[in-house]
Amino acid sequence: MAQVPKAQLATIHISVINQSTVLSDEQVSPVVAALQKQVTNDFRPAWGVDAELEFVPSGAQPPAGSWWLSILDDSDQANALGYHDLTTDGLPIGKVFAGTDLKVGASWSVTASHELLEMLADPNINLTVFVQNADTTGRLYAYEACDACEADNLGYQVDNILLSDFVFPSWFEGFRAHGSTQFAQTGHIQGPLELLPGGYICIFDVSAGPGWHQMTAEKRPVSMAQRGNVGSRRERRRLPREQWLVSVPHREITRRAADYRQRLDALQTQAA
């Protein structure tokens, strides 16, 4: 695939912030380096979007004007600290719930890759592809880059770090024949709008009117692991934008994080 000259791309600055209690800075830092390589070497040629990632250790402040990728334990911690739907500056934010991943046996590095790439492809969580089946029926497909092939076993490694597979823009182009072009980074997907086991896509049936819901490859209700956490992209897509909340100032988040860890330590002491 032809390379897009980097000089022609607007530079997106993304702060990868570690506020998790289950991951140390030493565990997060090498993943950020692998994510940078994935974005520049793999995602940029396919999507024409690049970014510069900066790791923000626990307790440090992200630079003003950057987008955020926040590493958190779970949605309860996100709410307690004040990470909401947008950054303090009203810019895009992604959340990685590492504690939840560890509980269900999933890879948090795959989730981080998933959230980062989808934030770059559709930062405002409002892009869709319309497939019209007839005069009065049709579906909107969410313009999400990793959902169709999100399962950990479909990912690939960069510097021994497991990252998420992702689809190319061609995946949303129904006119393309099966096997006619590359539809995803790993080559597992062979046709447009194809869903792999463990994958899904959010759709909106314009004639039925039930709102956004998930369609899976297995044609069965989604599992608990596939349900969107509060504050996730899946949950925000269903939420009117006027109800989105701006995160509190990061200095306040840092103070709350210290209080949060003290409460956890106190609870562990009591349990002991």
- For 50-87, the pLDDT digits (tens) are 999 999 998 899 999 999 999 999 999 999 999 999 99
Tell me: pLDDT of 226 over 70.
no
2 or 10: which leads in pLDDT: 10
**Which amino acid is residue 98, in one-letter code?**
A
Distances in Å between the Cα of 105 and the Cα atoms of 110, 147, 151 are 12, 18, 12
Average pLDDT over residues 165-169: 98
pLDDT tens string 180-197: 999 999 999 999 999 999
What confidence score (pLDDT) does residue 44 get? Answer: 96
**Band of pLDDT at residue 261, cut at 50, 70 and 90:** confident
Q: How many angstroms separate the CA atoms of 265 and 120, rounded?
A: 36
What confidence score (pLDDT) does residue 1 get? Answer: 47
pLDDT tens string 85-94: 999 999 999 9
Tell me: pLDDT of 133 over 90.
no
pLDDT tens string 22-50: 999 999 999 999 999 999 999 999 999 99
Percent of the chain's residues with pLDDT above 70: 92
> What is the crossing angle of helices 108-121 and 25-37, to 10°?
40
Distances in Å between the Cα of 162 and the Cα atoms of 30, 38, 225, 251, 269 are 11, 11, 18, 32, 35
Tell me: pLDDT of 11 over 90.
no
**Band of pLDDT at residue 222, cut at 50, 70 and 90:** low
CB of 171 closer than 8 Å to CB of 148: yes
CB of 41 closer than 8 Å to CB of 1: no
What confidence score (pLDDT) does residue 264 get? Answer: 85
CB of 78 closer than 8 Å to CB of 96: no
